[in-house]
């Protein structure tokens, strides 16, 4: 029962739960807390998947008639029967596959993203010019308004000549604060973790809802920092100006497909402390309650098993 509960919980946290949570509108008023909730859902999904495999593995050590746990395949099959043994081994193998895919995905995303950023950083340093007024920002001779950042140890904020020509000083200040907020908070690491989890689970159970929602939420966090520095009006105009710009691989751009939602949010009600507190409590519940309710009986049984 523990293995079944863990399996159902993992599937729910990877598929249906993200879909429902992504449709909610309250995260727009509590983006930081919503990200914490999304992280709790992702961690709980991974832990549930591994716990399902461990719970099933423990079924392979059911005591024999003499009281000792089975130690051979023949003894396991005799104790469980062919159907249950095959089911246990199959799901345990699937759990191992998820674990291996998670490790591979983390390494692949980390190495690939940093390689693309390093290459693009070299191009920006060669073609871009430092602007005295904007400090660390590089300015490219591109007519299209664009603004993005390249996170990492050698981070860069990149603007275009079109951005300087199209925006006022207040709008430039807002867009620069937005990009620097990404760099300071390392929002790229948050996104990398969700990309890795999304890649690790099989396609038939996973959903892109979590990844898309977190991409929007990190932009909202950067928007909030920019609003405190320059106000909602200049930021909204700057976002609209950069809305059609294409984002280079590995970069985090101010514009993009979420611009309309973000501009509407700037004209809406402020962030809600009550919603934030509720989201933090929900995140704690997602991690703690299922673990206690499902894991404790299994751990007690496992302890009894190996004490025989």
Q: Which of 64-68, 209-213, 304-308 has the highest mean pLDDT?
A: 209-213
d(CA 156, CA 179): 9
Between the alpha carbon of residue 180 and those of residues 124, 152, 219, 229, the distances in Å are 17, 12, 12, 12
Q: What is the pLDDT of residue 110?
A: 87
Q: What is the pLDDT of residue 176?
A: 93
Q: What is the pLDDT of residue 47?
A: 81
Comparing 31-40, 174-183, 198-207, the range with the smallest average pLDDT is: 198-207
Rg over CA atoms, the chain: 24
CB atoms within 10 A of CB 237: 18
Q: What is the pLDDT of residues 80-105, one digit of tens each?
A: 566 766 766 777 777 777 788 888 88
User: For 129-253, where are the E strands, in sequence order?
Assistant: 129-130, 137-140, 147-150, 156-160, 252-253
Q: 153 with 117: CB under 8 angstroms?
A: no
Comparing 147-161, 176-190, 243-257, 262-276, the range with the smallest average pLDDT is: 243-257
pTM: 0.82
Q: What is the pLDDT of residue 26?
A: 95
Full DSSP string of 100-121? HHHHHHHHHHHHHHHHHHHHHH
Q: What is the pLDDT of residue 78?
A: 61
Q: Over the chain, what is the mean pLDDT?
A: 83
42: closest CA among 155, 195, 243? 195
Specify the 3-state DSSP secondary structure of 183.
helix
């Amino acid at each position: 029962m523990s293995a079944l509960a863990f399996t159902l919980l993992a599937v729910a946290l990877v598929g249906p739960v993200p879909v429902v949570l992504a449709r909610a509108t309250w995260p727009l008023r509590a983006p930081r807390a919503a990200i914490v909730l999304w992280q709790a859902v992702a961690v709980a999904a991974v832990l549930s998947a591994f716990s399902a495999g461990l719970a099933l593995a423990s079924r392979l050590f059911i005591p024999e008639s003499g009281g000792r746990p089975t130690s051979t395949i023949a003894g396991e099959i005799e104790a469980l029967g062919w159907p249950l043994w095959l089911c246990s081994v199959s799901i345990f193998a699937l759990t191992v596959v998820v674990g291996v895919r998670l490790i591979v995905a983390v390494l692949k995303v980390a190495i690939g993203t940093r390689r693309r950023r390093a290459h693009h950083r070299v191009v920006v340093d060669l073609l871009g010019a430092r602007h005295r007024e904007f400090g660390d920002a590089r300015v490219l001779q591109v007519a299209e308004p664009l603004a993005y950042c390249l996170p990492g140890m050698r981070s860069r904020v990149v603007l275009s000549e079109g951005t300087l020509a199209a925006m006022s000083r207040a709008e430039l200040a807002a867009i620069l604060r937005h990009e620097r907020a990404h760099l300071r908070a390392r929002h790229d690491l948050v996104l990398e973790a969700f990309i890795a989890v999304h890649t690790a689970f099989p396609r038939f159970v996973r959903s892109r809802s979590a990844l898309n929602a977190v991409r929007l939420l990190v932009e909202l966090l950067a928007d909030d920092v920019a609003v405190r520095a320059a106000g909602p009006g200049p930021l909204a105009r700057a976002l609209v100006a950069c809305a059609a710009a294409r984002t280079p691989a590995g970069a985090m751009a101010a514009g993009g497909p979420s611009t309309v939602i973000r501009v509407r949010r700037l004209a809406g009600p402020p962030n809600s402390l009550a919603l934030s507190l509720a989201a933090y409590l929900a995140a704690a519940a997602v991690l703690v309650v299922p673990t206690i309710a499902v894991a404790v009986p299994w751990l007690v049984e496992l302890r009894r098993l190996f004490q025989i």
